């Protein structure tokens, strides 16, 4: 019986250590941060979005729409407007979730990274390539830009 309990405790410890290790890997992988963004958007989880996004940096994008690349850029006067746009009935959430999302390559240069994301409009047979910009803040990757790439 002691042997069984010991084996169970060792297995539980190994499993919990493995899970903790996986969690810390997610925090150091920019691609996982982008995946977490879409998960938080899907769940309308604004608290998670505040941990994933660098809202102050996103607020500074004023010459082009920070996520939709429209001819008439939208500007946001506070971080709550960005969170509202990425959740619920927000325009960016509705647009992004109407398209297939493909998370492509990651390029890491020190504490700055880019993750290429392609949005595919199957009805129009068209893809929109973007490059999400991330940087490390407090040892966690945070998204600070959504940039359309030239086609």
- Range scoring the smallest mean pLDDT among 58-72, 110-124, 137-151: 58-72
Provide the CATH number for the domain around residue 31.
3.10.450.50
| Domain span holding position 16 | 2-148
Q: Residue 113 in contact with residue 106, Cβ under 8 Å?
A: yes
Predicted confidence (pLDDT) per residue in 60-85, tens digit = 876 666 666 666 777 788 999 999 99
Q: By C-alpha distance, which of 120, 118, 126 is closest to 148?
A: 118
- State CA 132 to chain mean position distance: 8
Contacts of 56 (CB under 8 A, 6+ apart): 79
Which pLDDT value is given to residue 148? 75
pTM of the model: 0.77
- Measured CA to CA, the distance from residue 26 to residue 22 in angstroms comes to 6
Alpha-helix runs per DSSP H in the chain: 2-27, 30-42, 46-52, 55-59, 79-85, 91-97
Q: How many domains does the chain have?
A: 1
């Amino acid at each position: 019986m002691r042997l069984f309990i010991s084996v169970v405790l060792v297995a539980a410890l190994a499993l919990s250590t493995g899970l903790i290790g996986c969690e810390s890997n997610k925090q150091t992988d920019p691609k996982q941060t982008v995946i977490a963004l879409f998960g938080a958007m899907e769940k309308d989880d604004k608290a998670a979005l505040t941990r994933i996004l660098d809202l102050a940096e996103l607020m500074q994008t004023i010459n082009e729409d920070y996520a939709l690349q429209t001819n008439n850029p939208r500007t946001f006067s506070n971080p709550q407007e960005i969170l509202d746009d990425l959740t619920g009935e927000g325009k960016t959430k509705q647009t992004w979730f109407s398209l297939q999302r493909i998370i492509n390559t990651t390029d890491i240069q020190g504490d700055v990274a880019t993750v290429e994301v392609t949005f595919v409009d199957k009805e129009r047979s068209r893809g929109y390539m973007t490059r999400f910009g991330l940087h490390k803040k407090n040892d966690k990757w945070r998204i600070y830009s959504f940039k359309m790439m030239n086609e």
